[in-house]
A and B are shown apart, each in its own frame.
Chain A
Amino acid sequence: MTSNIGEARIRVPDQIKRGDLITVNSIISHPMDTGFFRTAEGDPIPAYFIKHVVVTYGGQEVARFEWTSGISRDPVVSFTLTADKEAPLTMVWTDNKGAIFKQSVNISFASA
């Protein structure tokens, strides 16, 4: 498991042509604690999870995800995107303690 909470990666294909339908893969390191478990010492582990994710492309919001602690530890999500402009693709994850984690990749087109 990755250890730094909030460490995030976004992966897009290497070669993108204008208009391609690409798959965006993402992962963020986060414990996603439900609040139902206890430590070995018997202390409750409070709920601690990513609550929402906002995806923007060229500054425009293209998707927004609302999550609960029912999403597995170190959440992955992948989705498609029509690559119709050269612009940054940014994801912002916010957890239930208010911490904000951000990651970006540049969508750029391969020269033909």
Chain B
Amino acid sequence: MNSDRPGRVLEGPMSQSNDPTRRHFLRTAAGLVAAGLAAKAEFAAASSLPFGPEDPEVPNEKVARILKDLFADRPIRRGHVDLDMPVVAEDGRVVPVIIESDLPMTGDRFVKGVHLIVDHNPDPHVAAFHLTPALGQVSISTRIKMKRTTWVRAILETNTGEVWAGYTRVLVTLNGCG
């Protein structure tokens, strides 16, 4: 039958691993993969910088002082914090807040403080939560009062001194502070 065919195929052009076209293809493919990885690494680096809408400006002296007292001149970077609040709070007396983070809570590295700051409240530094690794995770929820539409900041401080923030703007219909 065609018993000699396989042998001939093996000797054909396809088997020549040093065929220039094939080598070129492999080099190009490797180059593309490398370029892809580089782009990915670049994206990962970029995503630790503020992105999306700009960080909210510090609106008043009170908030400026709170931030300075808490974090001095350390950079407050956006990331690792999920601040979940309603887009519209119909009743400013009761506004739910959930603060979560993917930062570790181990003996060596943990989030030691969570600060909740409501820019336009009479007392903006609404709450501070001091945590330990025993909690296993950063996932805190509570309910707060809000005077009017404003930015809300959830700022986390790690035991190693890093500062991470999440921001959200909440539209307040009914003043909850008097």
Contact = CB atoms under 8 A, between A and B. Distances in A.
B144 A71 contact: yes
Given A34-B145, A63-B131, A71-B145, A82 B136 contact: yes
Q: Which 5 pairs show the lowest CB-CB distances between chains A and B? A: A36-B178, A70-B126, A82-B136, A62-B134, A72-B143
A67 to B, nearest CB: 5
27 contacts: A21-B137, A34-B177, A36-B177, A36-B178, A61-B132, A62-B131, A62-B134, A63-B131, A65-B127, A65-B129, A66-B127, A67-B126, A68-B126, A68-B127, A69-B145, A70-B144, A70-B177, A71-B144, A71-B145, A72-B94, A73-B93, A76-B142, A77-B141, A78-B141, A79-B131, A79-B135, A80-B139
A23 interface: yes
Interface string B120-152: 011101111111101111111111110000000
Contacts of B178: 34, 36-37
A36 B178 CA distance: 6
A82 B131 CA distance: 13
Given A72-B94, A73-B93, A62 B142 contact: no
B99 to A, nearest CB: 10
Given A34-B145, A76-B142, A79-B139, A68 B123 contact: yes
A57 B122 CA distance: 34
B118 interface: yes
A10 interface: no
Given A62-B131, A82-B134, 5 more contacts: A70-B127, A76-B141, A77-B141, A79-B141, A80-B138
Contacts, number: 95
Given A34-B177, A60-B134, A68-B126, A78 B145 contact: no
Interface string B62-79: 000000000000000000
A16 interface: no
Contacts of A37: 178
A80 B139 CA distance: 6
B165 to A, nearest CB: 18
A70 B145 contact: yes
Given A72-B93, A80-B137, A81-B136, A65 B128 contact: yes
Interface in A10-67: 21, 23, 34, 36-37, 57, 60-67
Nearest to A61: B132
A88 interface: no
Contacts of B177: 34, 36, 70
